[in-house]
Amino acid sequence: MTAGQDPAITRLRAHEMAAGLREGRFTALALLEAHLELIRDENRVLHAWSSVDEDGARQAAVAADRQLSKEGGRAIQGPAALPPLLGIPVALKDLVVTRGQPSTAGSRILKGFLSPYDAHIAERLREAGAVVVGKTNMDEFAMGSSTEHSAWGPTANPWALDRVPGGSSGGSAAAVAAFHVPLAIGTDTGGSIRQPAALTGTVGMKPTYGRVSRYGIIAFASSLDQVGPFGRDVRDAAMLLGVVAGRDEHDSTSAPMQVPDYAAELPADDDEAAASVKGLRLGLPREYFVPGMEPGVEARIREAVGALEAAGAEIVELSLPHSEYGLATYYIIAPAEASANLARYDGIRYGQSVRGEDVLGNYLATRGSGFGAEVKRRVMLGTYALSAGYYDAYYLKAQKVRTLLKRDFDLAFKQVDALIAPTSPTVAFPLGARLADPVAMYLSDVCTLPVNMAGLPGISVPCGLSEGLPVGLQFIGRAWDESRLFGLGRAYEAITASAEWRSLEPTDLPALSDPSAPAPAERLAAARA
């Protein structure tokens, strides 16, 4: 089989691709070529990718085929099991460094930078036999909620090409939603996996802080950043997290915790999965139904809650009283940490260097031309919050409020097994609609930020459409309780398995291969004109 003969293989879930490879129904190289063909045909209009490593991916696919042939399609289970992602295409967000490949974090200041080493998760993926296809577009240094702040131009949402895919991991989410890859890596600092997952109709998991190593991840806010998976269903996301999670001696914040086999724990049978919610107490926080939430979004969330209740879950309305301060707290702490992390981009050690009249001139010229407007805004906010006379008034007070946010969750989990909430208060918004109003953009993450502040895990799963666009349902759990969240997501998939919206593909997929269709940058320019 060659690329183009069976485009349906790109529609398979990752676990279905794994089974097909082991059964010999297709090869890893054919699987890769089918995905590369889509990327070549469609990326101009979607702009989900910042770089594609075709040669490296082919080498990995050939190596996977060699191993599959040698082992004769040996079963996944057992002590001599094949690597779990052997031959499966995976995308990395463009802040995961890989040896000899571009890693730009969506910023001009890292244009041309080639990493001399691999991130820990890149090593894990290669050990698992994954085929790393390339890097996906993102908001610069992960600062944004729409992937419009990339130095390389915005990404479109495959459900509506004039809409954003969310951010900052919008490229990863769009690539999975458009069938360019079955799996992708994102990072979540304030919602940057869950929010784009919601807006693109994919599954996105933000693990507990410390579950996945941050070694080799270009930093935004070190106490908040966490790596996590995108997939088209819960089982796929569970497979990917199971591979990349675990202790890393290079990262002191990675936890020495045993990593469960998340995917193996999930029921294969829909009836069994649906029945797993019986008797569970799910908390519904009042504060997450925020002013300005779109009626269609609220309706889908209420319907999802009702479906879980009908399946036997007990819904408990409760309060997380300090949630209203989460947004303000986040936008003090995160910019402060960004100010410190981004100080290293000085035009001397690596990355872009613009010459001025002296050392200070070099520094100002490099940062002035290398950083975009949103990064400059946040660096200035963070520097101000950390400056003499303001540290106690802003940063220290924000850390105290962060403790209160964490306490709210601790008290809630004494009453319930998990929390259920909206992921985003709106569906995907039009390109350019919020660029002139940073506060409106920041409000996109109002339902996801508190989870990061508390270091907890959260997952977003699709729960229907509003105005023809995806809506995301969020489950939030205790620290290290990713297994329960995957189980809840799988249960909801089973409960709604016959829903008509589950059979729908993104509306604008046919336009992705239209040579006359405008690129996202052209759409954004037209919207701003």
Please give the structure tokens belonging to residue 243: 């591979």
Kind plus residue range of the DSSP H or E element containing 136: strand 131-136
The answer to whether residues 58 and 29 touch, using CB atoms and an 8 Å cutoff, is yes
> What is the spatial distance between Cα 274 and Cα 366, in angstroms, rounded to a whole number?
55
Give residues with Cβ within 8 angstroms of 284, minimum separation 6.
Answer: 305, 315, 316, 317, 318, 419, 420, 421
> What is the spatial distance between Cα 161 and Cα 351, in angstroms, rounded to a whole number?
32
Q: Catalytic residue at 400?
A: no
The answer to whether residues 429 and 469 touch, using CB atoms and an 8 Å cutoff, is no
Q: Catalytic residue at 93?
A: yes
Q: In what order do the strands lie in the sheet with 227-231?
A: 49-52, 131-136, 89-93, 183-187, 227-231, 203-206, 458-466, 469-476, 418-422, 281-285, 314-318
Q: Can you tell me which residue has the tokens 């969750």?
A: 409
Largest Cα–Cα distance of the chain, in whole Å? 71
Q: Can you tell me which residue has the tokens 């009702």?
A: 306
The conformation of residue 502, written as its DSSP 8-state character, comes to G
Between helix 54-71 and helix 14-23 the angle, nearest 10°, is 50
Active-site residue identified among 192, 254, 444, 466: 192
Q: Catalytic residue at 444?
A: no
What amino acid occupies position 327?
Answer: L
DSSP percent split of the chain into helix, strand, coil, nearest 5:
45, 15, 40
Q: Known catalytic residues? A: 93, 168, 192
